[in-house]
Amino acid sequence: MKLARFETGGRTLCGVVDGDSIKVVTDTDLRDVIMNNGAVAETGETVALGDARLLAPLKPAKNVFCVGLNYQDHITEGERAIGRKLDPQEVPIFFTKPPTSVIGPEDDVLVHQAVTTEVDWEAELAVVIGRGARNISYDDALDHVFGYTLVNDISHRDIQMKHRQWFRGKGLDGACPIGPWIVTADEIPDPQALDVLCRVNGETKQSASTAQMIFDVRTLIESLSAGLTLEPGDILATGTPNGVGFARTPPEFLKAGDVVEVEVSGVGILRNPVVNAD
Ligand code: MG
């Protein structure tokens, strides 16, 4: 089941995506659907996908959890770009993006020209937590996954490098496109067997498999939830593979007029135009 949140005719609705249409459900917040273990009641109304403006599937209640450096090829390209080796990680590196950074699948990625010139892409599979808990075990971890969506972990490299800690460089307004919908976990039997892609203006920049994650989804949930309560609707972006802009030769960054797409097989395509901020 693909669950979307969208606007149509001045209304904000949720529904089940079925081909080129959306079957409207009674809930207007997908967090309520998650709390009900995915149970939905259709209203009988159907909206053509083309008449819907898709929104981020969940209105963020808190920061989006993220993982850095979770693919070896991405670590290697980064080491080459910065000219030094990074210490090996025994545990995942978690950081967050604020709710104000979240945008939907039809919103603009902003180039904040006054503060950054290096706007980069990061295609990522994202996990949507279902049943909340803390101290979730590796074996139970996937039982706490409601579904999957996509995140483009837009990163402002000049700010990221200057401030060292990642929150600032990855937390600007518009830096967290999420969507286009949530695919329920029953449709993704193995989250470690998915293709992750990023295209800019139709040209493939990233192409990898979630099999290449250093810390798999189970380990990420086990590690993040150790002493920290995960709640229904929490989003966890699982890291990006190689092919990001700053590590390319020469480096490439997003600019106004570009279109950036994140795709994960079985989940969908998250496509955002890039525009200059006011
Ligand atoms: Mg990332």
* Spacing, Cα 151 to ligand 1 middle (Å): 9
**Pairing between β-strand 268-276 and β-strand 259-264 as defined by DSSP bridges:** antiparallel
Token pair listed for 32: 């309520």
Q: Which 3 state secondary structure label does DSSP give 221?
A: helix
Assigned CATH topology for domain 2-54: SH3 type barrels. (2.30.30)
Q: Report whether 62 contacts 184 (CB < 8 A).
A: no
Q: Delimit the domains of the chain by residue range.
A: 2-54, 64-276
* Spacing, Cα 191 to ligand 1 middle (Å): 17
Assigned CATH topology for domain 64-276: Fumarylacetoacetate hydrolase; domain 2 (3.90.850)
Half-sphere exposure of 27 (CA within 13 A, CB side): 20
pLDDT at 60: 85
Q: How confident is the prediction along the chain (278 residues), in pLDDT tens digits per residue?
A: 999 999 999 999 999 999 999 999 999 999 999 999 999 999 999 999 999 999 999 988 999 999 999 999 999 999 999 999 999 999 999 999 999 999 999 999 999 999 999 999 999 999 999 999 999 999 999 999 999 999 999 999 999 999 989 999 999 999 999 999 999 999 999 999 999 999 999 999 999 999 999 999 999 999 999 999 999 999 999 999 999 999 999 999 999 999 999 999 999 999 999 999 98
pLDDT at 198: 98
Q: CB 177: neighbour CB atoms within 10 A?
A: 27
| DSSP summary character for residue 194 | -
Query: Measured between alpha carbons, how far is residue 117 from residues 114, 154, 163, 168, 177 in Å?
Result: 8, 13, 15, 15, 19
* Spacing, Cα 122 to ligand 1 middle (Å): 6
- Could you write out the DSSP letters of every residue in 39-77? ---EEEEEEEGGG-EEE-SS--SSPEEEEES-BHHHHHH
